[in-house]
Structure 1
Amino acid sequence: MPMQATTTTPLFAAELTPNRSLGSRGVWVVVGLCALFAALPTLIFLSLGAWPIVGFMALDVVAIAVALYVSLRRGKRREHVTVWADQLEWAAIDAKGGKTLRRFNPKTVRLVLDRDADEKTVALRLRHGKDELEVGSFLNPDDKSSFAKALGTALRKARLA
């Protein structure tokens, strides 16, 4: 079945991504430095015949590589939030590429903010009846707060339309 083309422009559209401070170039720099720092003592311990130390150093390098791989996979998560006059659409792509799509009626969905003692936003949820969905769980509190303000404004516009 062919997809239907949307002719209306959304009231609000946002793509949420986690902050990635280490790019692909940074990964290569970290791996290269780890290999260099592990190679120099390895040569010394090999010449002394300290095989167990060399083995543990190899395990350290493997552990660092696995930690980098796992941390960079989390950075591939995405959430798309789009608000039209007649619906709110939330689409999530997880680290493995799996997609989840949920649609809500903007007139009946409620934006719920959880705040800490300092009035910083710690969670942003969409509530539709008994069903709740947390949006942007990977964002920092300041980003959650500004996103909640923009999304709340878009929901108010959708309710008036």
Structure 2
Amino acid sequence: MSLDLTLTPNRSLPRDHARLLVLVVGGLFLIGSIRFLVLGLWPIIPFMIADVALLAWALRSNYRSGGAHERLVLAHDALTLTRVSPWGEAVSEQLEAYFTRVDIEETPLGDAHVFLASRGRRLRIGQFLSAPERREVAAVVREALARYRNQSPSTSAMA
């Protein structure tokens, strides 16, 4: 096996720190809501509770989507791309390794989209990665495919 690569989404805030953030914001809002209650502005309190609940929901949703990943495996004459959804559903696609090429499409804004192409099929990889990370992944996959082609016996030598 010359390539076994797992691509996962980036998360800048660890899960424990996200919980701490919700608790700190909730505590600050609790202190503010006490002041609003004393001033007679109690209708603001439900909106503050809703803000904390929405923050907690958004962070939880963000971490749930972080369970998605892609795995590229080059073995036994096939390049296999397995996509796993945030809910654990896996879908695998196989391409013939010898005929697979890596295409990078640059956009005018400096973004890069990476595709695996083989015999009329194109599979986009690393959609959740940043543009520099996608370029790096493309270079790694290209290098692995080149090594594979150099190790494979030529069909003209078999004749």
* Alignment CA distance shift 1:24-1:107 (3 Å): same
- What residue in structure 2 maps to residue 3 of structure 1? none
Deviation at 1:107, TM superposition (A): 1.5
Per-residue deviation, residues 76-128 of structure 1 (Å, max 9, x unmatched): 2111111125110111111121111111111222211112358x561111122
Which residues in structure 2 correspond to 1:91-130 (within 5 Å)? 91-117=82-108, 122-130=112-120
Q: 1:16 aligned to 2:4?
A: no
SS in structure 2 opposite 1:22?
coil
Amino acid at match of 1:73: R
Q: 1:131 aligned to 2:117?
A: no
- What residue in structure 2 maps to residue 7 of structure 1? none
Count of residue pairs the alignment pairs up: 151
Question: How many angstroms apart in 1 are the aligned matches of 2:9 and 2:43?
Answer: 40
- Taking only the aligned residue pairs, the percentage that are identical comes to 25
Match of 1:72 among 50, 53, 63: 63
Question: Which contiguous aligned blocks of 4+ residues in structure 1 show a shift greater than 6 angstroms?
Answer: none
Contact 1:11 1:85 in 2 (8 A): no
SS in structure 2 opposite 1:19?
coil
Question: How many angstroms apart in 1 are the aligned matches of 2:10 and 2:53?
Answer: 25
* Alignment CA distance shift 1:159-1:121 (3 Å): farther
Q: Could you say which structure has the higher helix fraction?
A: 2
Question: How many angstroms apart in 1 are the aligned matches of 2:118 and 2:33?
Answer: 59
| Contiguous gaps of at least 5 residues in structure 1 | 1-9
* Alignment CA distance shift 1:149-1:69 (3 Å): same
Contact 2:101 2:142 in 1 (8 A): no
TM-score for both structures, normalised by structure 2: 0.86
Question: How many angstroms apart in 1 are the aligned matches of 2:76 and 2:57?
Answer: 45
Per-residue deviation, residues 49-80 of structure 1 (Å, max 9, x unmatched): 43320111111111111111111122221111
- What residue in structure 1 maps to residue 142 of structure 2? 152
Question: How many angstroms apart in 2 are the aligned matches of 1:84 and 1:42?
Answer: 60
